[in-house]
Amino acid sequence: MANQVMVIGAGPAGLMAAEIMAAAGHQVVVYDAKPSACRKFLLAGVGGMNITHSEAYDDFIQRYYDKADWLSSAIRQFDNQALRDWIHGLGIDTFVGSSGRVFPTDMKAAPLLRHWLSRLREAGVEFHMRHKMLSLNSTCATFDHQGETVTADADAIVLAMGGASWPQLGSDGAWQSVLADKGVGLSLLRSTNCGFYSRWSEHLSSKFAGSPLKGVAFSMPLANGQIVHKKGECIVTQDGMEGSLIYAFSKYLRDAIEAQGEASLSIDLLPDVSEPQLVAKLSSKKAKESLSKYLKRTTGLSGVKVALLHELFAKAVLSSPESLAHAIKHSPVSFYQTKAIEEVISSAGGVCEESLNDDLMLSKMPGVFCAGEMLDWEAPTGGYLLTACFATGRLAGQGVCRWLAAKA
């Protein structure tokens, strides 16, 4: 008789676990609080479904920061190329963009999901939507299903309920209290891949909110002496910054804010021009020429970049070619708070590594496995988040299969 296994959470991690377990001959039932599967996955794919990244494994795995060693067992077995091959097996082609990011050829998430769900149903996987987990033990879970309490039994359970970002799509972090009551070690869920608050002047806030800050580089020294340096772009908002470049620094900024109450980074407003070259360009100021016209004529700087110079430096600092060039190359910006976790792309924190065995089974709850963003890891955008969700879902599914086989 086939084992009955339960997956709670119909995102990429949960569905991958379901696929693995169904292929091993187990009867799989997937529960989710929302009316349909993979709602966050679908929304993330609206602007182009970035499924993974093409870089070499040794570089790829380091995108998971201090959790790289922990996640390597899952991701090495199902790395970026394996994920692409799996997508191709669904009849969806992929391509590598100029940044190294990997996309489905049509850039859409919906066809991939449609093919996947069809294959899962053909494999016998059942879906029970609008089931929100209320309680849990090692052999059963209780759900609220449209006001009715429903209890379901299982020989093993995979939890894949996401973190706490975009709660309207299902990842609300409500599972934390359920697992904490069971003695499971948890790390606080926190914002990552997020915007930050800064204290702008009224002038910058009112005149330049929403302005793109393009062609710049950020640098930030870390506590270990390392200096993180990245080029890109972001947006100056009414109360801080948003966008891809600031997201790439989110772990470092958040950690510094938690440790010190504030975090700073340095902006190079002209990263492709050296400081000596800038000094030479700036050595031709005309009489009575305004700073804005002077900068536009000599360096091409204008708009929000010039506004940031006025914001961050006293007038005297901007009065000589040498000090002005240094300011352009080293503009310090401070931040004091992350954007709220409900507003951000992903969350850090979750079920601690020490609470799980190598197959992602909870030591406090034998037969219950965890996968995806519930686990205590984080990664930048660029396909790394999804890759780890797929890979840990696969490992959890394999873990269930090994655990049930050992019990038989």
pLDDT at 43 over 90: no
Domain ranges of the chain: 4-192+342-407, 196-338
Bridging pattern class, strands 368-370 and 227-237: unpaired
Instruction: Please give the pLDDT value at position 247.
Output: 96
Model pLDDT for residues 21-41, shown as the tens digit of each residue: 999 999 999 999 999 999 999
For 41-93, strand residue ranges (E) read 52-53
Q: What mean pLDDT, rounded, does the chain reach?
A: 95
Mean pLDDT (whole number) for 226-252: 96
Cα–Cα distance measured from residue 73 to residue 68, given in angstroms and rounded to the nearest whole number: 9
Helix axes 384-407, 68-77, angle to 10 degrees: 80
- Sign of the CA dihedral running 65, 70, 74, 78: positive
Model pLDDT for residues 75-134, shown as the tens digit of each residue: 999 999 999 999 999 999 999 999 999 999 999 999 999 999 999 999 999 999 999 999
What residues contact 154, with CB distance under 8 A and at least 6 apart? 4, 5, 6, 29, 139, 140, 141
Distance of alpha carbon 343 from its chain centroid, rounded?
Answer: 12
Kindly state the percentage of the chain with pLDDT values over 70.
100
Distances (CA, A) of 134 to 11, 151, 196, 301, 341: 19, 10, 34, 56, 22
pLDDT at 47 over 80: no
Cα–Cα distance measured from residue 372 to residue 170, given in angstroms and rounded to the nearest whole number: 14
Cα–Cα distance measured from residue 87 to residue 150, given in angstroms and rounded to the nearest whole number: 35
Residue pair 235/198 in contact (Cβ under 8 Å)? The answer is no
Model pLDDT for residues 294-351, shown as the tens digit of each residue: 999 999 999 999 999 999 999 999 989 999 999 999 999 999 999 999 999 999 999 9
Model pLDDT for residues 137-158, shown as the tens digit of each residue: 999 999 999 999 999 999 999 9
pLDDT band of 188, cuts 50, 70, 90:
very high
Side-chain half-sphere CA neighbours of 47 within 13 A: 3
Amino acid of residue 79 = D
Task: Provide the β-strand partners of residue 140.
Answer: 153
CATH number of 4-192+342-407: 3.50.50.60
pLDDT at 291 over 90: no
Mean pLDDT (whole number) for 384-390: 97
Least confident window among 48-57, 106-115, 270-279, 280-289: 280-289
Instruction: Please give the pLDDT value at position 1.
Output: 60
